[in-house]
Structure 1
């Protein structure tokens, strides 16, 4: 029968290699559009513009 409060030794995980070495591994595989900051601005603005109610007089 197992002892209910038996201690188990636990070791720390080995240190992972420095992740900064991976920076730049996708250079040349993607691009950002020139209008990234204003992409789809007009349709988004239209979503928040009050609409004219043709039934209101």
Structure 2
């Protein structure tokens, strides 16, 4: 699983990418949120991440 916080000129976002499967070479987007929102990380992590706290790192 990868969590990417990105500040783009048009819109900042937090995207969660989950592996497509064992041995799979790719990822699929599973959850998206704007900075300041909340994003749910899928199992086995299974938590809700407050993306507002990430804004300080996207500068």
TM-score interval, normalised by the smaller of the two chains: under 0.3
Using structure 1 for the length normalisation, give the TM-score: 0.19
Task: Considering Cα pairs closer than 8 Å and 6+ residues apart, tell me whether 1 or 2 has the greater RCO.
Answer: 2
Higher-Rg structure is 1
Using structure 2 for the length normalisation, give the TM-score: 0.18
Q: Judging by fraction of residues, say which structure has more helix.
A: 1
